[in-house]
Structure 1
Amino acid sequence: MTEMVEELLKPQEEEWLCNSNEALTIWFFEPSTDPDQEFDSAQVYPMFTYSIFGDKEQIYGYKNLEITLKFSSGSFATYFDVRYSDKIPDVSSTSIADNVIDKVKTLIPNDYITNFDTFLQTVNENAYSFKPMGEKITEYRLEEGKDIIYEIYRATFNTPRFKEYHKRFQILVLFYIEAGTYIEEDEKWETMLLFERKRIGDKYIYSLVGFCTMYNYYFYNREECVNNNIDRTNNKVPVSERVNEGKVIPEDIRLRISQFLIFPHVQGKGHGSKLYQTIYKYVLSNSRIKELAVEIPNDSFEVIRDKNDLLYLREQKAFEGLAAPVDKKTIDSLRRKYKLNKRQLLRCLEIELLRKLNKSDAAAYKAYRLQVKERLYNWNKEILKDIDRDERIEKLEETFKSLVEEYQDILLKYN
């Protein structure tokens, strides 16, 4: 009887469900450069909302639900609104509508705006007074002759105005970075901020269009670890604790990219490459930074990273004259010089060796295959050691062929 009742109720329950990715819209507003209109706006939808509304990304209890977040593109003043045509009556504990307002407002600053006219007034006022914070690193143009310049600034949580500003734009991490979470206000965080600067009349306005958060870890080389009995994996412990433990505190740093985002309405224009190039140049110019790493790169970031690392290393002739097998001493020297972590350096090396490889030379191809397979085995040793020899050989061969196909696809784009 209970099962029958549940089946009868199921269609009624579903009419009160909606997809949270579709119900929520995000807008970016700024004064227009067109004299015939007051504001320019861009509308986008989130890719992810599970961290707010649950793994199924569903909201229960409303019909025609519309959740709206609007941001002033520069200052990130926030407008928040929730509307619906009907809400399920709270007749029992099993049919209570999700509290959408509470779920969202805990993630945005307390001074969010609920009146749209007030928001537009704030957009207009803030646009001409807002200025980027932090140290300006570089600037670039996408099109010569256009009066639009992009500027990149470096900030930390000690930078004036940045702490509050970060609270305003960090919600985009939840919407566009898979498994993204808010970061703690730790002094070891650095953020690169990408701003668009455009002229309206005789004034300039700034709009945030992307950012990258990076964390400074201690960098221990292998010799220091052995001599001082240091666990290299425990490189986030505060300096004071390491001193108390009687261990050597290194001056050197491993900079790790954590969150990298170009806002959806400006993607596909080359901003990702420009931001990554700026970060890499910053790493190369800083004598304390010994290595650039990435937390958990997604596919789209891997494309940016591979492209720019390959083109830079090729420009520097980093792999000129090399052929498989490349010895460990050479690899270590390249890692130190170009400050890439081992996995990324070897990946770029393998792609370039494949580009120059004469596939009709059986001995050269075998040497290349063995070098790549050795790296694959060492990377997956814990998994492969429990597999019998024949299956291990088969899996390595499958992985090698798949990797070569991936490398060939990359070379088709950047040969």
Structure 2
Amino acid sequence: MSSDALVDTTARATQGWLYDTNAMVKIELLRRPTVPAPIPNSSRDDDEENDGPSNGDSVDQDPPAWSFHPVYTYPFYGTDQQIAGYRNPRVVIRSSAASLVTHVAATYDAKSHEATLDLAQPLLEFLPSDLIHDDVAFAKALANDTKYTPPGNVVLEYETANGVQFQLFECTVSTHGFPTLYDRLKIFAMYFIEAATPVDVTDPAWTFYLLYRRHPSSSSAHLPYEFAGLFSTYSFYLFPNRTRKRISQVLILPPFQRQGHAARIYAHLHCTAMADAQIGELAVEDPSEAFDVLRDVSDLRLFLRGPVPGRPDSDRGLAAVPEVDVADSATIDGELTVAWNPLATRSAPTLVWGRKHDILQLCTHSVKQARVRGLRAFAKLQSRQAERIYEMLVLNEAVPAGSRRAPPAAFRRMVKARIYRAHKDALEAVADEEQRKELVHETYLQVLDEYLGHLRLARRAGVA
């Protein structure tokens, strides 16, 4: 801590004595086996909260450390994310990019009698239990990481367009070395995922997926691995004899964002779930708007570009979506409900492939329900997601790439019917029928614009 003498101030919020804690905390991921000189403070990127890299646009740059700021510090410093009583406070959290062994240091230029909170103290509860304060001990730990290998099994490997290699490691709570690693990385989720809290690493229902950049073994100038992100999933019992796998936390660190990593990992988890007869559904917990887009585009790309697991390579679009016929299902107002669960049966539902329908037939209630059930049973999608993906696949048939024609009236009626069901209570509270119709139509136009945008992204080459 700085040894500067205390300075008395009469107002806590006097200019220069009230500081943004997001800017105060700086995270450095050290990429080499020696501790670099301190990285100078720089102004924060205004777009950092939108998942963009802060110091460096892509991983093909080669700084000694990745340096960035958290998006959220309210779990530590309160909802205002401010600290009073210090002039130019700094908390630098340095971690090995490989093992995430961590060192913390706090400094300031001056301190007033209004300062009632120690700079680093609020973080200590969530920083790792083996936190290092001594510079020499940290340098030694960093040097020991030259032979580090992440815990778990490699379940996915890929190389980016610029030749950078990545590996995805799958871990459970019983994986050797994982509890220690999670103790070090848990605070990263709190920095970047709103309302995130550490998970119970004694609960065997959790599975963790750790994304690492891998350096060639011949590259002695770097640590062999760099931690880039985390996915966590939780497995629930799904009646009568299956499992619902729920994606819980999704984190890609700022230096690796906007490079398609989250899309690759989601696609891997989705295809793995489709191939696993024990998994009945792949769910997502409270997805952000950005992750909703990623999931839509990934699901669409699976069916538009393939390969679709278990299907001939020629099956694309609606040809890769089966139907499920159910004679005895619950009804609402005399019609089969989309909420019917094709998984709540001890025997797998019979999938019917290859039925041909024109656009008008695809928009009818009966065909839509049969295909939505097929998406739920075959692609393991949640009910709402299955409906939306089906509607987008129909739109893809009705309005091919490059076409400017409007979707047929049957498509419009099909989507509006879903919109009305989703907002039935609110719409029926509107007394004027014409106003209700206008509200539904305005929502339809927004949905149509969203669908067309997602289709454009899904049709592009490469990873979303």
Q: TM-score range by the shorter chain?
A: 0.7 to 0.9
Query: Aligned to 1:141, which of 135, 159, 163?
Result: 159
Aligned to 1:391: 435
- Determine whether 1:401 maps to 2:445: yes
Instruction: Report the alpha carbon displacement of residue 9 of structure 1 after superposing the two structures with TM.
Output: 5.4
Distance 1:32 1:274, change over 3 A: farther
Instruction: Report the alpha carbon displacement of residue 127 of structure 1 after superposing the two structures with TM.
Output: 3.1
Query: Aligned to 2:196, which of 180, 199, 210?
Result: 180
Query: Aligned to 2:85, which of 23, 38, 61?
Result: 61
Query: Aligned to 2:137, which of 118, 126, 148?
Result: 118
- Determine whether 1:343 maps to 2:384: yes
Aligned residues: 366
**Matched letter for residue 350 of structure 1:** E
Three-state SS of the structure 1 residue aligned to 2:204 is coil
Question: 1 CA distance for matches of 2:417 and 2:102?
Answer: 53
- Report which stretch shifted further, 114-123 or 208-217: 114-123
CA contact under 8 A between 1:30 and 1:127: conserved in structure 2? Answer: no
Q: Deviations over 1:19-45 (max 9, x none)?
A: 011111111112279xxxx98211011
Query: Aligned to 2:127, which of 105, 108, 113?
Result: 108
Instruction: Report the alpha carbon displacement of residue 319 of structure 1 after superposing the two structures with TM.
Output: 1.3
**Matched letter for residue 372 of structure 1:** V
Question: 2 CA distance for matches of 1:391 and 1:179?
Answer: 37
Question: 2 CA distance for matches of 1:184 and 1:342?
Answer: 29
Query: Aligned to 1:171, which of 172, 179, 187?
Result: 187
Instruction: Report the alpha carbon displacement of residue 155 of structure 1 after superposing the two structures with TM.
Output: 1.1
Aligned to 1:242: none
Instruction: Report the alpha carbon displacement of residue 408 of structure 1 after superposing the two structures with TM.
Output: 1.9
**Matched letter for residue 111 of structure 1:** D
**Matched letter for residue 410 of structure 1:** H
Distance 1:303 1:179, change over 3 A: same
Distance 1:161 1:402, change over 3 A: same
Q: Deviations over 1:380-408 (max 9, x none)?
A: 23433333244332221111111111112
CA contact under 8 A between 1:32 and 1:39: conserved in structure 2? Answer: no
Q: Deviations over 1:291-315 (max 9, x none)?
A: 1111111122223212211110123
CA contact under 8 A between 2:72 and 2:190: conserved in structure 1? Answer: yes
CA RMSD of aligned residues (A): 2.6
Three-state SS of the structure 1 residue aligned to 2:194 is coil
Query: Aligned to 1:334, which of 375, 386, 389?
Result: 375
Higher relative contact order (CA 8 A, sep 6+): 2
Question: 2 CA distance for matches of 1:308 and 1:86?
Answer: 51
Question: 1 CA distance for matches of 2:33 and 2:174?
Answer: 33
Question: 2 CA distance for matches of 1:183 and 1:83?
Answer: 31
Distance 1:48 1:68, change over 3 A: same
Q: Deviations over 1:121-175 (max 9, x none)?
A: 32121231x212122212111148x4x5321121111222212211110111111
Three-state SS of the structure 2 residue aligned to 1:258 is strand
Question: 2 CA distance for matches of 1:299 and 1:12?
Answer: 35
Query: Aligned to 1:191, which of 183, 202, 208?
Result: 208
Instruction: Report the alpha carbon displacement of residue 51 of structure 1 after superposing the two structures with TM.
Output: 1.6
Question: 2 CA distance for matches of 1:127 and 1:301?
Answer: 35
Instruction: Report the alpha carbon displacement of residue 256 of structure 1 after superposing the two structures with TM.
Output: 0.8
Aligned to 1:319: 318
Q: Which structure 1 residue ranges, 5 or more long, are not aligned?
A: 1-7, 90-94, 221-249
Instruction: Report the alpha carbon displacement of residue 210 of structure 1 after superposing the two structures with TM.
Output: 1.0
**Matched letter for residue 18 of structure 2:** L
Three-state SS of the structure 2 residue aligned to 1:327 is helix
Aligned to 2:170: 154
Question: 1 CA distance for matches of 2:397 and 2:303?
Answer: 14
Query: Aligned to 1:298, which of 263, 283, 288?
Result: 288
Query: Aligned to 1:365, which of 383, 404, 408?
Result: 408
Q: Percent of aligned positions with the same letter in both sequences?
A: 27
Three-state SS of the structure 1 residue aligned to 2:144 is helix
- Report which stretch shifted further, 253-262 or 266-275: 266-275
Distance 1:289 1:13, change over 3 A: same
Structure holding more helix per residue: 1
CA contact under 8 A between 1:31 and 1:39: conserved in structure 2? Answer: no
Query: Aligned to 1:218, which of 237, 247, 250?
Result: 237
Distance 1:43 1:202, change over 3 A: closer
